[in-house]
Amino acid sequence: MKRIGFLTSGGDCQGLNPAMRGVTETICTALGEKNVEFYGFEDGYKGLIYGKYRKMTRADFAGIQNMGGTILGTSREPFKYIQVIDPETGLDKVKEMKKTYSKLKLDCLVVLGGNGSTKTANLLSEQGLNVVTLPKTIDNDIWGTDMTFGCHTAVEIATEAIDRTRTTAASHSRTFLVEIMGHKVGWLALEAGIAGGADAILLPEIPYSVNKVASVIKKNAKSSRKYSIIVVAEGAMTKDEAKMSKKERNAHFAETGTASDRLAKSLEGKVEGEIRCVVPGHTQRGGNPCAYDRRFATELGAAAGQLILDEKYGFMVALKGDKLEPVPLSEVAGKLKYVPVDGEEVKYAKALGISFAD
């Protein structure tokens, strides 16, 4: 009898449900559903810590490939606190997770999560638990994989937001700042900005000059089109902000607002005409997964299921070129995949006339 646990951790995104279905279908097809038990932990690592779970069958995962969100629920359990003993209750989170794993006699724990979730998964692997992870995040910032599930759907939603904003911008000859998710890396803003034909794309990896953004807007105002679309990653910062310490920068951001709000205020007096901010926000990771993410997440799940059948643990399933390959968790944990500032996508975006205001 194989006993498999699932948990979805961190922010939700499109593709979590089809990924779990991919695991269950692969294992049940190989072993027969009577020879497998599945346990779903509720609300991410909290379910593993506090023993909140439910026994599941193959039927529970049937027909969920087109559903957004996660049928298990999720939450954030920051890695920096995962090994901290609660001073009031004496709760040892790592100890409790190992206890729950042992109580259920799990053969493997499947973790679907982003960077923080992967760090905790690696810790559990180092503690002797059999763990396999799948790369989940709309930000596409997990090191070791060319793509994460959820990213393609989020790009489509963000691009649609830009498209819909464009018609209003053109009708009123306005400048719109469209703020796209991406606190530390700018893959989502870059992809959507190129697809949406942005005039400028501001990324966390490329600190920008307000004056250069203003130059883009003034140039467009004098042209026949008269409007501008500026895509702003939520982690975008000016060159001066980039020179601040992390503590100083966080305090500054707390006082001055979101990335688009800060830019809008900085542009006052530098350009003529109205400037409006549009923030699609959590709609970017909500709703049903696109066809690509359904297929991709399902295939990642199938690859994870095969690792479990082969009893190969301590890996994340990654996309490398056109192949799915296992990457050791020890190589993935704690690393971010940043947009290369001199990479192909940035180079061709600049060739198209898109400014990064650097």
Active site residue 139: yes
Q: Between helices 16-31 and 291-309, what is the axis angle to 10°?
A: 40
- Answer yes or no: same fold for 2-149+289-332 and 154-285: yes
pLDDT value for 86: 87
The mean pLDDT of 120-136, rounded to a whole number, is 98
CATH 3.40.50.460 fits 154-285, yes or no: yes
Question: Exactly one of 12, 139, 141, 199 is catalytic; which is it?
Answer: 139
* pLDDT digits 0-9 by tens, 152-185: 999 999 999 999 999 999 999 999 999 999 999 9
Burial readout 118-136 (b: 16 or more C-beta within 10 A, e: otherwise): bbbbbbbbeeebbbbbbbb
Ranges of each domain in the chain: 2-149+289-332, 154-285
The mean pLDDT of 73-91, rounded to a whole number, is 92
* pLDDT digits 0-9 by tens, 96-121: 999 999 999 999 999 999 999 999 99
pLDDT value for 345: 96
What Å distances lie between residue 119 and 20, 95, 149, 249, CA to CA? 20, 16, 18, 25
pLDDT value for 87: 87
Q: Between helices 344-351 and 187-195, what is the axis angle to 10°?
A: 30
Domain 2-149+289-332 classification at class level: alpha beta
Whether pLDDT at 88 is above 90: no
SS (H, E, C) 173-205: CCEEEEEECCCCCCHHHHHHHHHCCCCEEEECC
